[in-house]
């Protein structure tokens, strides 16, 4: 009887207005329309307000004479040059303090992290005090401490502190610096090629050693390239390729050498030491995240402490360290805008002066925002490429 019973089929028909896919699509369309509409409304209102106040939104002022000086510009600049040139000087200053600050903060932060993990109680506590001090004080306060409490208290030019190769006074730090001579171009080119080739060979040969397990002597080969090519460039140069530019007293100030202004030095030290405290915690967390068993296994097979750190711990820790490290690099670059407080004329400081001179607040701020956005995106892009290369590959 069960076989003769008719089968019952249920047909469910869901109205389209109750279909989850239709609801999601409709919600996305409505959200997009509202957001685009709000943006258009805001832009139109801004343009109307700018027109009512006779505000010019073009960038043609960049071709006008700036009319203001920039102290110790890294590239050629005079007040009668254009606003565009002034912005370029500010950009170079921003790049100088950001790049040097990133390098110094990375090195110092890594060393502080290793000291924090040291079995030496005193060294570990000193590193902890350094980290807590810098992490819990605003960067602007640290900049004021460096600039007003340290560098403004340096002796006058007549009472300069003179050490071998360096002169220190209120006007800055004067360093003996090598300068290329007129015949030093072959040496410079050969040195640049040698550095690039050494980096490539180091990476390729080390990678091959990791794959094959055979010793490729990546260290000695890279070091040999780094020495031989500059030496060839030296021999090809007609005479000495460079000479030491020694600072000397002329009139009421020192001339020659490499001058680091108090403003740049205070900004560099403040940014580097402040960011290093955060980088130290990032590095420490990455190292402690490595499985303890792998470290013990590496020591069991006879690897030295340096080999364990360079071949076992750091390659794995970098996978954890790099993502938050990117954020610290971006923060350092953006924090360079605080240089305005101590008189270092980077791109934001130059932009503020340009607003007073040209009266173009909106274009200037747009240019400054675009500059910081471009620097941040480029930094993030480069480090994300490296981050993808060191991640585990799933098969």
> What DSSP assignment string belongs to 122-164?
HHHHHHHHHHHHHHTS-HHHHHHIIIIIIGGGS--STT-EEET
Residues 273-287: what's their mean pLDDT?
94
Residues 37-52: what's their mean pLDDT?
85
Per-residue confidence band for 85, with pLDDT thresholds at 50, 70 and 90: very high
Per-residue confidence band for 186, with pLDDT thresholds at 50, 70 and 90: confident
Q: Mark whether 196 and 270 lie in a shared domain.
A: no
39 in any annotated domain: no
Q: Mark whether 289 and 220 lie in a shared domain.
A: no
Per-residue confidence band for 4, with pLDDT thresholds at 50, 70 and 90: low
57 in any annotated domain: no
Q: What percent of the chain has pLDDT over 70?
A: 95
Q: What is the CATH number of the domain that holds 160?
A: 1.10.3720.10
89 in any annotated domain: yes
**pLDDT at 333 (0 to 100):** 93
**pLDDT at 211 (0 to 100):** 79
Closest to 275 (Cα-Cα) out of 111, 104, 118? 104
pLDDT above 50 (res 229) = yes
**pLDDT at 395 (0 to 100):** 43
Determine the number of helices (DSSP H) and then strands (DSSP E) in the chain: 12, 8
> What DSSP assignment string belongs to 347-381?
HHHHHHHHHHHH--HHHHHHHHHHHHHHHHHHHHH
**pLDDT at 6 (0 to 100):** 54
Per the structure, the complete domain to which residue 280 belongs is given by 83-176+246-390
251 in any annotated domain: yes
Q: Mark whether 209 and 161 lie in a shared domain.
A: no
- Residues 14-20: contacts with CB under 8 Å, at least 24 apart: none
Cβ 223 vs Cβ 198: under 8 Å: yes
Q: Mark whether 241 and 300 lie in a shared domain.
A: no
Task: Flag the least confident range among 96-100, 131-135, 158-162.
Answer: 158-162
**pLDDT at 202 (0 to 100):** 87
Is pLDDT larger for residue 268 or for residue 61? 268
48 in any annotated domain: no
64 in any annotated domain: no
Residues 191-200: what's their mean pLDDT?
91
Per-residue confidence band for 1, with pLDDT thresholds at 50, 70 and 90: very low
- CA atoms of 49 and 344, how far apart (whole Å): 34
Q: Mark whether 233 and 101 lie in a shared domain.
A: no
**pLDDT at 256 (0 to 100):** 83
Taking the model in full, what pTM does it have? Answer: 0.81
Per-residue confidence band for 313, with pLDDT thresholds at 50, 70 and 90: confident
Q: How many domains does the chain have?
A: 2
CB-based burial, 292-301: b 16+ in 10 Å, e otherwise: eeebeebeee
**pLDDT at 97 (0 to 100):** 94
Pairing of strands 166-169, 172-175: antiparallel
**What residues form DSSP beta bridges with 345?**
none
324 in any annotated domain: yes
Provide the 8-state DSSP code for 61.
G
> What DSSP assignment string belongs to 326-337?
HHHHHHHHHHGG
Closest to 327 (Cα-Cα) out of 269, 268, 386, 384? 384
**pLDDT at 9 (0 to 100):** 53
Q: Mark whether 166 and 254 lie in a shared domain.
A: yes
Tokens 């055979």 sit on residue: 214
Residues 182-186: what's their mean pLDDT?
84
What average pLDDT is seen over the chain?
A: 86
Q: Mark whether 91 and 167 lie in a shared domain.
A: yes
Q: How does pLDDT run across 245-256, given as a tens digit for each residue?
A: 888 888 788 888
Final residue of a domain: which of 215, 245, 275?
245
Q: How does pLDDT run across 318-363, given as a tens digit for each residue?
A: 888 998 999 999 999 999 999 989 989 999 999 999 888 888 888 8
């Amino acid at each position: 009887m069960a076989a003769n019973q008719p089968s019952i089929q249920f047909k469910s028909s869901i109205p389209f207005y109750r279909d989850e896919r239709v609801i999601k699509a409709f919600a996305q369309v409505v959200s997009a329309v509202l957001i685009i509409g709000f943006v258009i409304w805001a832009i139109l209102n801004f343009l109307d307000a700018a027109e009512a106040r006779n505000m010019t939104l073009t960038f043609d002022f960049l071709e006008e004479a700036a009319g203001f000086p920039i102290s110790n510009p890294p590239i050629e600049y005079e007040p009668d040059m254009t606003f565009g040139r002034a912005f370029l000087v500010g950009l170079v200053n921003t790049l100088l303090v950001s790049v040097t600050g990133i390098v110094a903060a990375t090195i110092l932060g890594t060393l502080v992290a290793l000291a924090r993990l040291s079995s030496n109680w005193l060294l570990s506590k000193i590193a902890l005090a350094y980290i807590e001090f810098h992490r819990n004080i605003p960067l602007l306060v640290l900049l004021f401490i460096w600039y007003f409490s340290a560098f403004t208290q340096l002796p006058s030019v007549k009472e300069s502190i003179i050490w071998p190769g360096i002169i220190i006074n209120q006007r800055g730090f004067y360093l003996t610096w090598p300068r290329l001579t007129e015949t030093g171009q072959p040496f410079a080119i050969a040195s640049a090629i040698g550095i690039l080739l050494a980096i490539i060979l180091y990476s390729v040969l080390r990678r091959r050693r990791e794959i094959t397990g055979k010793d490729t002597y990546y260290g000695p080969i890279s070091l040999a390239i780094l020495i031989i090519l500059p030496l060839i460039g030296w021999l090809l140069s007609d005479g000495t390729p460079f000479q030491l530019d020694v600072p000397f007293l002329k009139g009421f100030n020192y001339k020659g050498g490499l001058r680091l202004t108090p403003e740049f030095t205070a900004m560099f030290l403040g940014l580097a030491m402040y960011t290093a405290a955060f980088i130290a915690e990032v590095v420490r967390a990455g190292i402690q995240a490595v499985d303890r068993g792998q470290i013990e296994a590496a020591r069991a097979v006879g690897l030295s402490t340096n080999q364990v750190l360079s071949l076992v711990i750091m390659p794995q820790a970098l996978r954890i360290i790099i993502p938050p490290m990117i954020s610290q690099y971006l923060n350092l670059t953006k924090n360079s805008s605080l240089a305005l407080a101590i008189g270092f004329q980077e791109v934001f400081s130059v932009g503020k002066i340009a607003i007073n001179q040209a009266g173009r607040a909106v274009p200037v701020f747009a240019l400054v925002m675009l500059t910081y956005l471009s620097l941040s995106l480029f930094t993030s892009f480069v480090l994300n490429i490296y981050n993808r290369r060191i991640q585990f590959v799933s098969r």
